[in-house]
Amino acid sequence: MNPELLIIFFPIGFAIHLYLCRKFDTEPQKVKTLLLYIYLVFTILLYFSGELNLRTLFYLILGWSIVLIDYQHHRIPNFITGYFAVALFAIALIDHRVFDSAAGGAEFLSFFGFLAFATKLKIGFGDVKLAGVIGMIVGMATFQELINYVLLAAILGLCSLLANPNGIRLKAQIPFAAPMIAASLVIWPMLHMKG
């Protein structure tokens, strides 16, 4: 990826992050966000300079905003997932991967929708919609990848529950966006998401 484009993309992403946090009354954690973006810029330039694409960058930047909003309010707004899906569809048109993106989104959406109903709605619909967006980024996945993804996200969610300073409560709501995003970056690393 062109370093100049990368340097331009992150300030735009930071402005979008600030807008979303202000719109949904969330602390933007400016210092942590800037440190994360600086880390991402250097990591991308050092290790992924020729292999990263626009949808992955978009995912990394908006993923952080989604994590903060979900952590504070225990919800993922339709505004974010809806516009995110539209932007990803436009990127898929440019990348000539519309079928793969749409099929991946439908696959993840239906799989997590089934999980939501099977668990009597213990998985929120915001998480189901976020899974659809992740599917649009990843594209079609095998059943084994989906199972590994769900298991890793569940393990990460339990770890976040164990790390909670308020202690473990059986009825605790787990903001599941962070484990879902982290698990997707482990199961399908950025090398797999290249265009």
Over residues 115-123, the mean pLDDT reads 83
Q: Amino acid letter at 70?
A: D
Query: 68-82, 110-124, 144-158, 164-178: which has the minimum mean pLDDT?
Result: 164-178
The listed range with the strongest mean pLDDT (53-67, 138-152, 153-167) is 138-152
pLDDT average, residue stretch 18-25: 92
**pLDDT score recorded for residue 191:** 38
- Number of structural domains (the chain) is 1
Asked whether residue 170 is assigned to any structural domain, the reply reads yes
Distance of CA 75 to the CA centre of its chain: 14
The answer to whether residue 181 is domain-embedded is: yes
Residues with Cβ within 8 Å of residue 115, at least 6 apart in sequence: 123, 150
Please report whether residue 69 resides in a domain: yes
Position 177 in a domain: yes
Q: Report residue 167 as tokens.
A: 């202690």
Q: Are 180 and 66 in contact (CB under 8 A)?
A: no
166 part of a folded domain: yes
Domain, as residue range, for 104 = 3-187
**pLDDT (average), residues 10-35:** 90
Q: By the 8 A CB rule, do 140 and 92 touch?
A: no
In a domain, 8, yes or no: yes
**What pLDDT is stored for residue 111 in this prediction?**
93
The 8-class DSSP code of residue 97 comes to -
Q: Kindly report, residue by residue over 154-184, the tens digit of the pLDDT.
A: 898 888 777 766 666 655 567 888 899 988 8
Residue 4, pLDDT above cutoff 80: no
Asked if the structure places residue 44 within a domain, the reply is yes
Residue 118 lies in a domain: yes
Using alpha carbons only, how large is the chain's radius of gyration in Å? 16
> Does the pLDDT value for residue 53 go beyond 80?
no
Local confidence band at 22 (pLDDT 50, 70, 90 cut-offs) = very high
Segment among 4-8, 73-77, 91-95, 154-158 with least mean pLDDT:
4-8
pLDDT of residue 120: 80
142-180 residues labelled b (16+ CB within 10 A) or e (exposed): eeeebeebbebbbebbeebbeeeeeeeeeeeebbbbbbb
